[in-house]
Amino acid sequence: MTFIARLAGTATIITSLWIGAAGAETVLKSSDTHPDGYPTVEAVKYFGQLVKERTNGRYSVEVYHSAQLGEEKDTIEQVRTGVIDLNRISMAPFNGIIAETKVPSLPYLFRSEDHMHKVMDGAIGDEIKAAFEPAGLVALAFYDSGARSFYNSKKPITSKDDMAGLKFRVIQSDIFVDTVKALGANATPMPYGEVYSAIETGVIDGAENNFPSYDTAKHAEVAKFYSLDEHMMVPEVFVMAKSSWDKLSPEDQAIFKQAAMESVAKQRELWAAKVKESRAKVETAGSKVTTPDKQPFIDAMAPVYEKYVTDQKLKDMVERIKATQ
């Protein structure tokens, strides 16, 4: 081999290595409405780290937190059409698209976080995951979101009757609207990012969420009365565009699934700590937490179940969840 040929050979190897390194990395975009550091954002970052390590850098994940890619409803369309690859989102905005997601969004369905974990980690959780596929999505994981409770700027809620006439922002899902109505209050569905100013300007009296959201979205600054009625325990879901998923080799799909599973444990750990931290923070800053008797809230929910648990499949699912010990 002449010197020139050797030189050309080396150049080819160097060029292909360079293309290999640069061209092999597929950066997957992931959306989250929450700010950096929030347990869901951190869990998806952790998932990305694992995926990057285990695919030798062929795949990595970039998390666009703080609703940089838009409000949840808009990002659903983006991930369904493959404009973005991944999305961490509440299960509730899927209620109008995927019937099975209505079930874990039902008020007072889960008795405790343990009960919710048993259901979502088991066969019912798998059925709900499978229901995302016809919508063009692969559900990789469910994350914790604790319990949602009402908060407002007007007065402490010490019993269900105190809810009468108050106007609450809810997630854009009809189940939420009817849950609030059933409690004698008014519901206004609106995107998460608009809630702070809507409370501040008095367009609404309050909203409903868990402590970490109430704290990090700064709603606690404008709505000091938090009532621990814990009316819903809607899990978060981490989804991937089916079109992006189908591009992965079976080996890579297995890596993604395993990484997602491991990110669940991570998220739960971060979540439990964040709930305590956020509650302490808002209380120190002046939020007043009341604990109304839950039974009248629970008793008022019959019309919601009648309206949304209509077909036999959903009825069975609700019964199986109630029977899960």
Contact residues for ligand GTR, defined by CB under 6 A: 33, 72, 89-90, 145, 171, 192, 209-210, 213, 236
Distance CA 300, CA 167 (A): 18
To the nearest whole angstrom, how small is the minimum distance from the Cβ of residue 292 to ligand GTR?
20
Distance CA 272, CA 261 (A): 17
- Residue closer to ligand GTR (CB basis): 112 or 295: 112
- Residue closer to ligand GTR (CB basis): 55 or 105: 105
- Residue closer to ligand GTR (CB basis): 33 or 227: 33
Which residues is 318 bridged to in the sheet? none
To the nearest whole angstrom, how small is the minimum distance from the Cβ of residue 41 to ligand GTR?
10
- Residue closer to ligand GTR (CB basis): 171 or 223: 171
To the nearest whole angstrom, how small is the minimum distance from the Cβ of residue 193 to ligand GTR?
9
Helix (H, G, I), strand (E, B) or coil at 99: helix
- Of 210, 160, 213, 202, the C-alpha closest to 185 is 160
To the nearest whole angstrom, how small is the minimum distance from the Cβ of residue 62 to ligand GTR?
19
To the nearest whole angstrom, how small is the minimum distance from the Cβ of residue 190 to ligand GTR?
9
To the nearest whole angstrom, how small is the minimum distance from the Cβ of residue 171 to ligand GTR?
5
Torsional sign, CA 92, 95, 100, 106: positive
- Residue closer to ligand GTR (CB basis): 90 or 287: 90
Helices (H), the chain: 3-24, 39-54, 72-80, 113-121, 123-130, 174-182, 195-200, 211-216, 219-222, 242-245, 250-284, 295-299, 302-308, 312-323
DSSP 164: T
DSSP 101: G
- Residue closer to ligand GTR (CB basis): 276 or 322: 276
Distance CA 74, CA 66 (A): 14
Overall residue count recorded for the chain in this entry: 325
Categorise residue 225: left if φ over 0, alpha if ψ from -120 to 50, beta otherwise: beta
To the nearest whole angstrom, how small is the minimum distance from the Cβ of residue 133 to ligand GTR?
21
Question: Using an 8 Å Cβ cutoff, are 235 and 143 in contact?
Answer: yes
- Residue closer to ligand GTR (CB basis): 195 or 248: 195
To the nearest whole angstrom, how small is the minimum distance from the Cβ of residue 88 to ligand GTR?
7
DSSP letter string, 258-296: HHHHHHHHHHHHHHHHHHHHHHHHHHHTT-EEE---SHH
- Residue closer to ligand GTR (CB basis): 42 or 236: 236
